[in-house]
Amino acid sequence: MRCFVYRFPFSGSLSLKSLKKGNIPQHVAIIMDGNGRWATRRKLPRSIGHQRGAEVLRETVVTCKDLGVKYLTAYSFSSENWQRPAEEVKDLMKLFIEVLQRELDGMIENDVKLNLIGQREIIPEKILRVFENAEEKTKFNKSLVFSIAFSYGSKQEIFDAVKKICIDYDRSEIDIETAKPEMLSGYLYTAGLPDPDLLIRTGGESRISNFLLWQIAYTELYFTDIMWPDFNRKNFFKAISSFQKRNRRFGRL
């Protein structure tokens, strides 16, 4: 299996003629749906679909870096996914460890910063160590912040944020009377990251699935029937092109 990020500069030509260089989304979030169904339709083990999905994610990281996208957030494993069959979860954990370890040098060389968002307290220690090692080794990288939403659920994220706010209020560290909604953003797993400009969901479903519910209040949504393992560079360009045709008013005229 190939790695997430190319270890050398991408040499292929970019089809940017239809894209406005000055209107590239700063932050792209992706719900990578369809790995299992892609494999099942080809009478392959679901694990093959996840492996192919990891390759596509690597290619997407490269594409974002080439386009000048500064933040990429990928929904890789939800808090509900722990309820999947034990064998599939085991295969996924093995895949995460293998790819993260293999890609670490590539992320360092390509100036990609890895960021884990999710419930760290319920992530198995072995895989959490791999994530946190990658975070530590890439923490000074700046070209692209690559956030992996792992063991992530947005309702739990918001609930955890409210609990932290209550604790800080009891400690008289915040003034509720002068607090603004933006304050909550600083208590989320995504604290310090800008809200997504564009959310892409593959796989033919048109729902958010408990992903970044607070952060996507004014995010542009893009749904496609294409399964994630088939979502190539050209498909990513189509999503960006769709984004560029929209008039983002943020509630204003």
Which residues are identified as catalytic? 33, 81
Signed CA dihedral, 198, 202, 204, 208: sign only: negative
Interhelix angle for 125-138 vs 86-109, to 10°?
A: 20
Q: What are phi and psi of 242, to 5 degrees?
A: -60, -40
What does the alpha-carbon distance between residue 201 and residue 222 come to, in Å, rounded to a whole number?
6
Token reading at 77: 């494993």
Q: What is the 8-class DSSP label of residue 85? A: -
Token reading at 177: 């009377």
What does the alpha-carbon distance between residue 248 and residue 231 come to, in Å, rounded to a whole number?
25
Residue in 93, 16, 77, 106 with CA at minimum distance from that of residue 209: 77
Polymer length of the chain: 253
What does the alpha-carbon distance between residue 224 and residue 243 come to, in Å, rounded to a whole number?
13
Compute the chain's Rg from CA coordinates.
18
- State the alpha helices, DSSP H only, in 10-117: 35-41, 46-67, 86-109
The distance of Cα 138 from the centroid of its chain, to the nearest Å, equals 17
Q: What are phi and psi of 21, to 5 degrees?
A: -60, -25
